[in-house]
Amino acid sequence: MENQKPLLPALKGIFFVTGTDTEVGKTWVSCRLLERAREAGLSCYGLKPVAAGCEQTGEGWRNDDALQLMAASSVKLPYETVNPVALKAPIAPHIAAQQEGRVITLARLAGYVRGALNAHKADLILIEGAGGWRVPLNDREMLAGLARELELPVIQVVGMKLGCINHALLTAEAIEKDGLRYAGTMANTFDGNMAVQEENLLTLRQHLPGAFAIV
C-alpha cells in the first residue's frame, strides 16, 4: 500500500517543529523522532521554549509536553533549560502571558534557546513551537520569528483530519515566504476513522515539498 508507515528516519541537525494547529501531535511526533535517534545511537534532546498550560508541582510550574520531550531525550537538561517560559493557562501564549503580567519577547526567547544550543551539543535537537505557525508572542512578534532568528529548517506536523490539506499547504507556504527551508512533513494519523485518509495523504504528498513521513 502506497501510504504505509515506514520506519522513521534517524534525523541529524537542529529543526523547528510546528503544526497545522494545536493538539495535532507535535510533541508526540517529536518524541518519536527523538526515540528513533536514540535507537540509532545518536545524542538528542528537545526544547519547548514556550509552553502554555502548566501545573504546579513541588519543583515549580511544569508542562506535560516539555516533560515528555525530556523523557524522550538522551541528553538530560534542567527543566528550566527545556522550557524557559512556562505559562499557567492552556491558552494562546501571548494571552496567557498578559494574564500573568508578563511580556514574552523574541529577543529573550532567542537568547534562551541560543544559550541551550551553545551549552549542549547533540546530533539531533528539536525545538517545538506552540500551536501553529502564526502564533503571537506579543502585540508585535510571532513565535515563527524564533525559527527565523535561528535560521532553522522547519518540520510540519499535520494532524490528519478534515481540513488538514488547506491548513498544511497554507502553513508550508507561510514557512517558505518567511525565508525558511521546509524540511518535511510528518503526517499524524491519530484519527483512525478519518474519511478518505489515504486520498488525503496522497494529496499532501503530491503538494508539499521536502520529505514526507506517516506516523
Tens of pLDDT, residue by residue over 135-148, are 999 999 999 999 99
Residue 78, domain CATH: 3.40.50.300
Report if residue 123 sits inside a domain: yes
Q: Are residues 32 and 131 in the same domain?
A: yes
| Residue 189, annotated as binding a ligand | yes
SS3 199: helix
Please tell me what DSSP assigns to residue 89. S
| Residue 139, annotated as binding a ligand | no
Rounded to whole angstroms, what are the CA distances from 68 to 178, 201, 208? 29, 27, 28
Q: Are residues 118 and 30 in the same domain?
A: yes
Q: Are residues 56 and 88 in the same domain?
A: yes
Structural domain span for residue 211: 162-215
Q: Name the catalytic one among 48, 88, 121, 177.
A: 48
Report if residue 1 sits inside a domain: no
> What pLDDT score was predicted for residue 54?
98
- Give the predicted TM-score (pTM) of the model: 0.94
Query: Does residue 12 have an active-site annotation?
Result: no
- Which of the listed residues 107, 128, 152 is the one where a domain comes to its end? 152
Q: Are residues 137 and 35 in the same domain?
A: yes
> What pLDDT score was predicted for residue 192?
80
Evaluate if residue 85 carries a pLDDT over 50. yes
Q: What is the mean pLDDT of residues 60-66?
A: 98
| Residue 57, annotated as binding a ligand | no
What's the CA dihedral at 197, 184, 21, 17 to 10 degrees? 140
Tens of pLDDT, residue by residue over 202-214, are 999 999 999 999 9
- Which of the listed residues 133, 152, 171 is the one where a domain comes to its end? 152
Q: Are residues 95 and 28 in the same domain?
A: yes
